Structure 1
Amino acid sequence: MTFRATLAIALVAAAGPAMADNRALILANADYRFAADIDGAEDALAADEPLKDAGFSVVVGADMSAEGMREALAELIVDRDAAERIVILLAGHFVKSERGTWFLGTDARAPDLASADGMGLPLSTVLEIASGAPGGAIVLLGSDQARITLGTGLAPGIGGLDIPQGVTVLSGDAEEIAAFAAEDLPKPGFSLSALATGRPDLDARGYLGALSSFLPMPATEAGEADTTSAERAFWQVTRGMGTVASYEAYLARYPSGLFAPTARAEIARLKAEPARLAEEVENALRLTRDQRREVQRNLSLMGFDPRGIDGIFGRGSRTAITNWQKANGFDATGFLTRDQILQLSAQAGKKAAELEAEAAARRAEEERQDRLYWSQTGAAGDEAGLRAYLKRYPDGLFADLAQDRLDVIEENRRQTAAAQERAAWDRAVAMNTVAGYRDYLAAFPDGAFADEAREQIAALIEEQSGASEREKAAAAEAALNLPAVAKNMAELRLDQLGLKPGRVDGVFDDDTRRAIRRFQRSRGLNATGYLDQETVVQLLSGGIIRFGD
């Protein structure tokens, strides 16, 4: 492959006052040095002239390195907050992790989670820049299935996006995205919803205004020639947002304006659509991804499964919100208000406290029974009593002490056993199989280690019978894909509860598994020793969403 990089900046005068601050960025990365080329990415360059003709100042980059892309993005940021419309078109390789997505420069080489920021543009930054023109911002992402070598923590493609209010994101095949940008987007008089509908192969997310035109018709065609350019520009932004708040803002500024009747009609229509109004109210809260995760945890704690705690309100979360609203006498819109979020948080806090109290009472009773049984069995120090205690309480308060005493008994027995029998027993212990212990018993049915051999056989058979369940539990924990920080938090919480998880290092060893089982038993959960969603929710519950003033 060859490598080239070009950047062209075209700052053109707009056709009229309403188009004076439209800005666009096109980055077409087709020719990668260390990855397969992206077919159709270069087609994105064809959108340059149509966007200029539509009144946009355009920054264009072809086959850009990561550094070159950052320079191009810096050009777009100039006067971003004054822009009425922003178009960002990225065509090339995208990679994703659990928490982010990056657009890679053509010099990217086997990026991993640690190096992705240096080899590409974080889409979170791109979306934040686009948010400077709410209701008039569109981000276009084009790629294909081309192969790329990736390091730890990354996968090819576009992940979940935290899209700011008023920003539209369209993604799909690079050729389709390029055709949309060059042929459809520059057409005046079409809404974002209509434009997206015309390309069903593209994935449309975020804001999709169905009423207002993304690019307005000329004033003479739209019948707006008699109004001032300032009012016309304000109305275009208002229609682009399409919310009750935006129409009310227009009326406050132009109570007798040319579009005042339309604004009042749209307010009445929106208020007559509860779901649309509810969505608008939730969008106005501008919930962060962490706040959405907290909502999902609280819903799960209250018994309304959001199908994942990822900070993205998909179908599962909307269903859980709807069911919670029904249960609490709210209109079942599937969208939350500030007061509802606070009420849910209060309910979850109360539920967490109740669960904690129940767990404390259950632990106290279990410890009482544990101590009582120890006094009746293992406290005397004889082998039979110690084994009886460990069989009932393998993770009990005195389990370590009981095992230590049994080790001493075995060592003493080893010292007194005949050399031949000791050798047979050592072989059985080294094998640690049912067959190995049975071989020992066949040779020494009344040997010094006969009772222990029978105990080990019974334990191994029981362990084998539960292997399938452990595998399922281990797979369920792996499917949670918990980051290291979450594992550390889990161990820290177990330690705070006095459950002795061992070293708090994010590594789940035998001590951690025992602590998890103890916690699960105290909560009435299936005591597998592995984390599942319910265990994580109860273990880490208790946070409260806080809003700014």
Structure 2
Amino acid sequence: MASTRLAGWLLTTALCTIAAPLAAADIGLVLGNGDYRRGTDPAGAERVLGAVDRLEDAGVDVISGRNADHDRLRRALSEFEQMAPEADGLLVVLSGRFVHSSTETWFLPVDTQAETLSELSREALALSSVMAMLEKAPRRAVLALAASDETETELGPYLRSGPGRIEAAQGVTVITGRPDALEGVLRDTLAVPGASIPARLRNERSVRAYGFVPEDHAFLPRGAERERDSALAEVLRRREAERDREAAERRRQEDLRERERAAAEQLAREREAASAAEKARRDRRDDGLWAETVQRNTEAAYAAYLEAFPQGRRADAARTRLDEIRNGPANDEARLNLGRDARRQIQRDLSLLGYDTRGIDGIFGQGTRQAIRAWQGDRNFGQTGYLDVRLIRQLEAQAEARAAELEAESRKRRDELDRADAAYWKKLGSGNNELGIRTYLERYPDGRYAEVGRENLVELERRRVQQADPGDRSTWREARQTNTRRAYQGYLSRYPQGSFTDQAVEAIKELDRQPDPAIAQAEAAEAALNMAPLAKRLVEQRLDALGHAPGEIDGVFDDRTRRALRRYQDEARLPVTGYMTQDTVVRLLADTVRGILR
């Protein structure tokens, strides 16, 4: 009763809304494919086309096709799709071969070559597309599928033959059966206004219906019902069109708001990027000026920084440092007016006491200040990082005492090394035999008797040359002049028991010896000290005074100077390289030299 009142209200609304109600047509698509170019033809598939005339007589506009290939199938579906939105009722009848997967069913054209899922999507008709059109005409939509009684077979890992079970959309009736039986249902039920589909199929075993199948449901309503349904459909179509327009307007407004939001975000990003770029430039200028300020470390420098960057990244540090310079210990140190040489001596004193100043360059940077603070803390002074006259004198006194301690330690170790050196020299024959000399030089290449040993070896070789066979002597002389591994091996091959066999073997070992990377590093470290010739002469004088025989005092570090340096480093327990380092300078010269490093 309620449904009757609702239908009457809708009909009244439709008649009031529509000046001249339009009777929209019922649309049908009927395809019968029985002559396939590949595979088995389905029996009687084309029989459904026999009902087309009855459907047309009942007022249904039918698009039909017999043995439709891929192109004809697409054209028929396209034509149906264009007409469907304005139709009251929709009927799709497909008879022929079907293939289905777990999620989709396809109706095959007669020229199909498809064997895989990807090929089916291009060549066959997916019934999900048909169902999407039918659900737009709820209660008046029918999908009829005619397939033979063949048993489903597997067509690969994903496909099976036949239509399978198709999920009916809301308001859509699905009818399946054999082609001959389905033709009868089309002719005597679907083509007859008011004919009940459930009543017709109640005793029909070869055809079944599911989905939207209410009692007395007919595809074509009776005359009055058809007019009423047509008016109702027009009202519903107009309402749906209005909803579509409203939805489109909402989407347009949303798109507009989204574009405005995107434009605002883009503008914000551009402004943020510009601000970040400007900040980066400002920070770079800030960093550069601050580095110069710290390097100068003067009242004027910090004041200039604050004038340029009053809110800079180091403004607080600059104000603190400026206050220290003007009112703190820094001012006391500044009044001393320490020269570069005096600052170097302070750095050497700190280094001698074990406090790393990160260089002895006469510049009190962060390394020196940290070393001063550490020294002050260890002596229970205020850790200001700055010095006054009293602190400098205490530092000098402690450095002198430490230098004396180190000198005593070095002297003691030098005596121990000399005794061991002399004992070993005596044990090996005091240079009177070649094997003893070479054994001594292996252990003490820079020993007290190294030069004497080498001179003895030269004399022994001179005698050996004089006493050797002329051919042996000539071949050895050529090998020495060539001085290559190949030349020495050639000598050994020719004279395996020759007079110079041991010398040839030693020469090959010397040539094969790989350069020590530590020596290269030590050489670079010495170059970084930038020692002047005068400073080098002072080093040589000090080595000579300690008895290490550095050779001529000329400011040129030759092999004898290097040996003297190695001997000193060994007795001072420093890394033995033969090259000057900051630690070697500090230990070697202690507080006896001023201005060694520039």
Q: Distance in 1 between matches of 2:293 and 2:504?
A: 54
Map residues 279-428 of structure 1 onto 2, 5 A cutoff: 279-379=330-430, 381-428=432-479
Q: Distance in 2 between matches of 1:336 and 1:194?
A: 26
Partner of 2:562: 513
Q: Report how far residue 466 of structure 1 moved.
A: 4.3
Q: Secondary structure at the match of 2:573?
A: coil
What's the CA shift string for 1:216-260, capped at 9, x where partnerless? xxxxxxxxxxxxxxxxxxxxxxxxx9845xxxxxxxxxxxxxxxx
Q: What amino acid is the match of 1:472?
A: Q
Q: Which moved more, 1:372-381 or 1:511-520?
A: 372-381
Q: Distance in 2 between matches of 1:489 and 1:207?
A: 44
Q: Distance in 2 between matches of 1:295 and 1:376?
A: 47
1:540 aligns with 2:594: no
Q: Secondary structure at the match of 2:527?
A: helix
Q: Distance in 1 between matches of 2:411 and 2:518?
A: 27
Q: Secondary structure at the match of 1:465?
A: coil
Q: What amino acid is the match of 1:510?
A: D
The alignment's TM-score, normalised by the length of structure 2, stands at 0.46
Q: What amino acid is the match of 2:583?
A: E
- Unmatched 5+ stretches in structure 2: 1-291
RMSD (CA atoms): 3.2
Q: Report how far residue 340 of structure 1 moved.
A: 1.7
Partner of 2:224: none
1:493 aligns with 2:542: yes
What's the CA shift string for 1:317-343, capped at 9, x where partnerless? 111111111222122221122222111
Which of these residues, 517, 522, 525, is aligned with residue 571 of structure 2? 522
Q: Distance in 1 between matches of 2:439 and 2:322?
A: 72
Counterparts in 2 of 1:294 and 1:511: CA distance versus 1, 3 Å: same
Partner of 1:231: none
Partner of 2:488: 437
State whether residues 297 and 309 of structure 1, in contact with CA within 8 Å, keep that contact through their aligned partners in structure 2.
yes
State whether residues 378 and 388 of structure 1, in contact with CA within 8 Å, keep that contact through their aligned partners in structure 2.
no
Counterparts in 2 of 1:376 and 1:296: CA distance versus 1, 3 Å: same
Partner of 1:132: none
Q: What amino acid is the match of 2:383?
A: A
Q: Secondary structure at the match of 1:445?
A: coil
What's the CA shift string for 1:81-134, capped at 9, x where partnerless? xxxxxxxxxxxxxxxxxxxxxxxxxxxxxxxxxxxxxxxxxxxxxxxxxxxxxx
Q: Distance in 2 between matches of 1:416 and 1:363?
A: 41
Counterparts in 2 of 1:450 and 1:310: CA distance versus 1, 3 Å: same
Q: Secondary structure at the match of 2:557?
A: coil
Partner of 2:517: 468
Map residues 142-153 of structure 1 onto 2, 5 A cutoff: none
1:452 aligns with 2:452: no
Number of residue-to-residue matches in the alignment:
302
Larger radius of gyration: 2
Counterparts in 2 of 1:399 and 1:440: CA distance versus 1, 3 Å: same
- Unmatched 5+ stretches in structure 1: 1-157, 171-190, 212-240, 245-276
Q: Secondary structure at the match of 1:436?
A: helix
Q: What amino acid is the match of 2:457?
A: L
Q: Report how far residue 447 of structure 1 moved.
A: 0.6
Q: Report how far residue 310 of structure 1 moved.
A: 0.8
The alignment's TM-score, normalised by the length of structure 1, stands at 0.50
What's the CA shift string for 1:381-429, capped at 9, x where partnerless? 1111121122221121111221111111111111122222222211222
Q: Report how far residue 307 of structure 1 moved.
A: 0.8
Q: Report how far residue 159 of structure 1 moved.
A: 13
Q: Report how far residue 305 of structure 1 moved.
A: 0.9
Q: What amino acid is the match of 1:523?
A: A
Counterparts in 2 of 1:343 and 1:528: CA distance versus 1, 3 Å: same
Q: Secondary structure at the match of 2:430?
A: helix
Map residues 261-276 of structure 1 onto 2, 5 A cutoff: none
Partner of 2:580: 531
State whether residues 345 and 591 of structure 2, in contact with CA within 8 Å, keep that contact through their aligned partners in structure 1.
no
Q: Report how far residue 501 of structure 1 moved.
A: 0.8
Q: What amino acid is the match of 1:535?
A: T
What is the percent sequence identity of the aligned residues? 42
Q: Distance in 2 between matches of 1:348 and 1:197?
A: 42
Q: Distance in 2 between matches of 1:398 and 1:544?
A: 30
State whether residues 378 and 387 of structure 1, in contact with CA within 8 Å, keep that contact through their aligned partners in structure 2.
no
State whether residues 293 and 301 of structure 2, in contact with CA within 8 Å, keep that contact through their aligned partners in structure 1.
no
Q: Which moved more, 1:297-306 or 1:437-446?
A: 437-446
Counterparts in 2 of 1:440 and 1:446: CA distance versus 1, 3 Å: same
Q: Report how far residue 372 of structure 1 moved.
A: 0.9
Q: Report how far residue 465 of structure 1 moved.
A: 3.0
Q: Distance in 2 between matches of 1:453 and 1:209?
A: 68
Counterparts in 2 of 1:317 and 1:210: CA distance versus 1, 3 Å: closer
Q: Distance in 1 between matches of 2:296 and 2:542?
A: 29
State whether residues 441 and 453 of structure 2, in contact with CA within 8 Å, keep that contact through their aligned partners in structure 1.
yes
Q: Distance in 1 between matches of 2:325 and 2:441?
A: 68
Counterparts in 2 of 1:388 and 1:305: CA distance versus 1, 3 Å: same
Q: What amino acid is the match of 2:521?
A: K
What's the CA shift string for 1:284-331, capped at 9, x where partnerless? 222111111111001111111111111110111111111111222122
Partner of 1:503: 552
State whether residues 345 and 544 of structure 1, in contact with CA within 8 Å, keep that contact through their aligned partners in structure 2.
no
Q: Report how far residue 459 of structure 1 moved.
A: 3.7
Q: Distance in 1 between matches of 2:486 and 2:404?
A: 50
Partner of 1:195: 307
